[in-house]
Amino acid sequence: MVSLSKILIAKAILVFCFNLSFNESVPFYTVKDNIVEVPIMKLNFYMMNRSDAEAETLRSIRKNVEYLNKEFQDVIKFEIEQFFVDEGHAYLPDLHQEYFGVEELTVDSLVRDLESKGTINVFIFESYFIEDLNAELMGFTPIFKASHKEYVNASPSFDRIFLAYNALGKQTTLVHEMGHFLGLDHPWEMSEINQGMMGLHDEDAIQENHMAYGPRVSGFTNEQLARMQHFALQFRRYLVNRSEFRLRGEIAFNQ
Ligand SMILES: [Zn+2]
């Protein structure tokens, strides 16, 4: 069993194209090189501390997934597999705290019997305002810092994203957490060289990026999208249950 305390971090968010040009001169025999794989990943949503599914929450979740697909621009496609309701209750900041400390996690007793293999499992809990931070914790994602190859062996324990009910209205939180789930870091954790490689060339680009915090976040860079697709196919392949194959030109046309 993987020792949780030493090797993972739980990335959190607080409140406040690659170039796909269609080359007309491509001869027939290189068509294979122009085929792009679009992995399809399935999502389960677990509405915790609930005895019934509320129509409003279901609507919000569907909107979140629509936005997620829009922001991933057909580089990865997400589909909702199932909704679950469970009366298990904990507060999101307490669960987040746990991931940094103890070996035995409350969260395991709450979610281990519920979670499915082969899907990205999104657990929605209540959150609260943290006075010291002057912010509410909206979501977090437990990840391996380095040994990404371990994801497949640890499945489904590291196929979790945690969201606050309050994050559903905002929609950018799920996108940000999916960024962590697929290998992205916060801009301030990266060296300038790495920022540049991810297309984050100046302060405006950073402020507007989904991996930053704040009101201006609005998109991923093409470099980040390419990185996440690569990460999904390499390290999260066990969660890709099928792929679509398209000609590069089709995707360029769709954009
Ligand atoms: Zn984060």
pLDDT digits (tens, 9 = 90+) for 208-224: 999 999 889 999 999 99
Distance of alpha carbon 114 from alpha carbon 222, whole angstroms: 35
Q: Residue 26: which pLDDT band, with cuts at 50, 70 and 90?
A: very low
Q: Residue 97: which pLDDT band, with cuts at 50, 70 and 90?
A: confident
Distance 199 CA to ligand 1 centre (A): 18
More confident residue, 250 or 178: 178
Neighbours of ion ligand 1 (CB under 5 A): 11, 13
pLDDT value at 247 more than 90: no
Distance of alpha carbon 248 from alpha carbon 22, whole angstroms: 7
Nearest to 44 by CA among 123, 139, 152: 123
Q: 142 pairs with which residues across the strands?
A: 10
Q: Residue 13: which pLDDT band, with cuts at 50, 70 and 90?
A: low
In what helix (H) or strand (E) does residue 127 lie, and over which residues does it extend?
Answer: none
Distance of alpha carbon 117 from alpha carbon 12, whole angstroms: 23
Distance 39 CA to ligand 1 centre (A): 23
Distance 140 CA to ligand 1 centre (A): 7
Distance 93 CA to ligand 1 centre (A): 14
What 3-state DSSP class applies to 80? strand
pLDDT digits (tens, 9 = 90+) for 105-127: 788 889 989 999 999 999 999 99
Nearest to 166 by CA among 139, 131, 130, 140: 139
pLDDT digits (tens, 9 = 90+) for 182-208: 999 999 999 999 999 999 999 999 999
**Other C-beta atoms within 10 Å of 20: how many?**
19
Distance 88 CA to ligand 1 centre (A): 25
Distance 254 CA to ligand 1 centre (A): 30
Distance 227 CA to ligand 1 centre (A): 17
In what helix (H) or strand (E) does residue 43 lie, and over which residues does it extend?
Answer: strand 35-48
More confident residue, 139 or 5: 139
DSSP string, the chain: ---HHHHEEEEEEE---------TT--GGGGGGGEEEEEEEEEEEEEET-SS--HHHHHHHHHHHHHHHHHHTTTSEEEEEEEEEE----BHHHHHHHHTS-SS-HHHHHHTTTPPSSSEEEEEEB--EEGGGTEEEEEEEEEESS-GGGHHHHTTTTSEEEEEGGGTTT-HHHHHHHHHHTT---GGGS-HHHHHHTT--SHHHHHTBTTS-STT--B--HHHHHHHHHHHHHHSGGGEEEEEEEEHHHHHHH-
pLDDT digits (tens, 9 = 90+) for 36-94: 889 999 999 999 999 999 999 999 999 999 999 999 988 999 999 999 999 999 999 99
Q: 140 pairs with which residues across the strands?
A: 12, 162
- The stretch 2-20 carries a mean pLDDT of 50
**Other C-beta atoms within 10 Å of 51: how many?**
8
Cis-peptide into 156, omega within 30 deg? yes
pLDDT digits (tens, 9 = 90+) for 132-166: 878 899 999 999 988 899 999 999 999 999 999 99
Sign of CA dihedral 156, 159, 165, 168: negative
Distance 6 CA to ligand 1 centre (A): 19
Domains of the chain, first to last:
4-15+32-248 (3.40.390.10)
Distance 213 CA to ligand 1 centre (A): 8
pLDDT at 102: 64
pLDDT at 253: 40
Distance 166 CA to ligand 1 centre (A): 16
pLDDT digits (tens, 9 = 90+) for 222-245: 999 999 999 999 999 999 978 888
Distance 135 CA to ligand 1 centre (A): 14
pLDDT at 249: 60
Average pLDDT over all residues of the chain: 86
Distance 32 CA to ligand 1 centre (A): 37
pLDDT at 255: 34
More confident residue, 99 or 163: 163
Distance 102 CA to ligand 1 centre (A): 21
Name the one residue in this structure whose structure tokens are 């609507």.
59
Distance 143 CA to ligand 1 centre (A): 11
Question: 215, 16 in Cβ contact below 8 A?
Answer: yes
pLDDT at 143: 93
